[in-house]
């Protein structure tokens, strides 16, 4: 088992190395990507700060609590952009061009080969800033030592839930072939997840918690960190992750069986 993990880790290091080499070859684009991430971060934080200039609370949360939630979600977004984002667009291209044939033939798990292939190094440069703001607002909401120790685990769980939902959504490209619409749908789904669950009400809130559980991505861990009595969403999040892993493995195999190579 450990030998297999070590093999995949060695392959992933090669993926990262080649991705960094390619990205840094285009220096202007590389720098612009860094500034784009910075603009997105500060505009998101600034928007919430602006809202709180006019209201004292949004739902049950004060300004620092919502900003902690937002920086938590932006940290996940930064990790997502760095590790996975580019691979979704390449997956669409590979299906249309028939390049997926060569991925399938490799002696590796195809999910790993498809979605872990591309690494966006520009996002790595902004990670200290994102992490610094997360720590800053974590201090403001008085997180305990236990909360800080659990933070890395919660970030990983949230990222895993996000990518599982996106992986499953992306399998529809096997049938649709053109994945541009699916990728834009993914991005809109991320927008929904960047707000806490109490923003949404009634039927929409139930749908986004149960059927398309994007609200669990941030609300599950953050509600628990702010109030230990609110553990239900976190427990539901862990259960949903296990269920989605099973669904992904099944639907991915079905998608591969129905894949009709564009090169044939």
Q: What is the DSSP string of 139-195?
A: HHTT--HHHHHHHHHHHHHHHHHHHHHHHHHHTTHHHH---HHHHHHHHHHHHHHTS
Predicted local confidence at residue 262, as pLDDT:
60
What is the C-alpha to C-alpha distance for residues 22 and 173, in angstroms, rounded to an integer? 26
Longest pairwise C-alpha distance within the chain: 61
The dihedral built from the CA positions of residue 15, 16, 21 and 22, taken in this order, carries a sign that is positive
Predicted local confidence at residue 6, as pLDDT:
85
Predicted local confidence at residue 26, as pLDDT:
82
What is the C-alpha to C-alpha distance for residues 114 and 21, in angstroms, rounded to an integer? 19
Predicted local confidence at residue 53, as pLDDT:
84
Predicted local confidence at residue 245, as pLDDT:
96
What is the C-alpha to C-alpha distance for residues 172 and 252, in angstroms, rounded to an integer? 9
Predicted local confidence at residue 201, as pLDDT:
87
Predicted local confidence at residue 97, as pLDDT:
81
What is the C-alpha to C-alpha distance for residues 175 and 104, in angstroms, rounded to an integer? 17
Hey, where are the domains in the chain?
2-258
Residue by residue, DSSP assigns 216-238 as: HHHHHHHHHHH-TT--HHHHHHH
Instruction: Per-residue pLDDT tens, the chain, 264 aa: give them.
Output: 777 888 888 889 888 898 888 888 888 888 988 998 899 899 999 888 888 888 888 888 999 999 999 999 999 999 999 999 888 888 888 888 888 888 888 888 889 988 998 888 888 889 999 999 999 999 999 999 999 999 999 999 999 999 999 999 998 888 887 777 888 888 888 888 889 999 998 899 999 998 889 999 999 999 999 999 999 999 999 999 999 999 999 999 998 888 876 655
Contact criterion met (CB below 8 Å) for 156 and 176: no
Q: Is 202 left (phi over 0), alpha (psi -120 to 50) or beta?
A: left
Contact criterion met (CB below 8 Å) for 233 and 196: no
Predicted local confidence at residue 236, as pLDDT:
94
Neighbouring C-beta atoms of residue 167, cutoff 10 Å: 22
Predicted local confidence at residue 61, as pLDDT:
92
């Amino acid at each position: 088992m450990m030998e297999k993990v070590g093999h995949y880790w060695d392959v992933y290091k090669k993926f990262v190395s080649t991705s960094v080499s390619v990205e840094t070859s285009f220096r202007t684009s590389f720098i612009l990507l860094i500034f784009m991430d910075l603009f997105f971060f500060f505009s998101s934080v600034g928007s919430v700060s602006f809202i709180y200039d006019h209201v004292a609370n949004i739902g049950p949360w004060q300004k620092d609590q919502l900003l902690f939630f937002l920086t938590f979600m932006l940290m996940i977004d930064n990790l997502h952009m760095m590790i996975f984002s580019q691979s979704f667009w390449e997956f669409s291209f590979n299906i249309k061009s028939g390049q997926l044939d060569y991925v399938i033939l490799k002696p590796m798990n195809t999910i790993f080969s498809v979605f872990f292939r591309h690494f966006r190094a520009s996002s790595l440069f902004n990670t200290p800033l994102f992490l610094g703001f997360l720590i800053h607002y974590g201090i403001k909401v008085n997180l305990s030592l236990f909360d800080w120790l659990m933070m890395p685990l919660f970030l990983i769980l949230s990222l895993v839930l996000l990518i599982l939902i996106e992986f499953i959504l992306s399998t529809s490209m096997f049938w649709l072939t053109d994945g541009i619409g699916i990728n834009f749908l993914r991005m809109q789904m991320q927008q929904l997840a960047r707000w806490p669950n109490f923003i949404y009400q009634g039927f929409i809130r139930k749908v986004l918690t149960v059927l398309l559980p994007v609200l669990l991505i941030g609300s599950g861990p953050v509600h628990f960190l702010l109030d230990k009595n609110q553990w239900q969403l976190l427990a539901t999040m862990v259960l949903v992750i296990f269920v989605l892993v099973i669904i992904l493995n099944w639907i991915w195999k079905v998608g591969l069986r129905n894949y009709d190579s564009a090169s044939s």
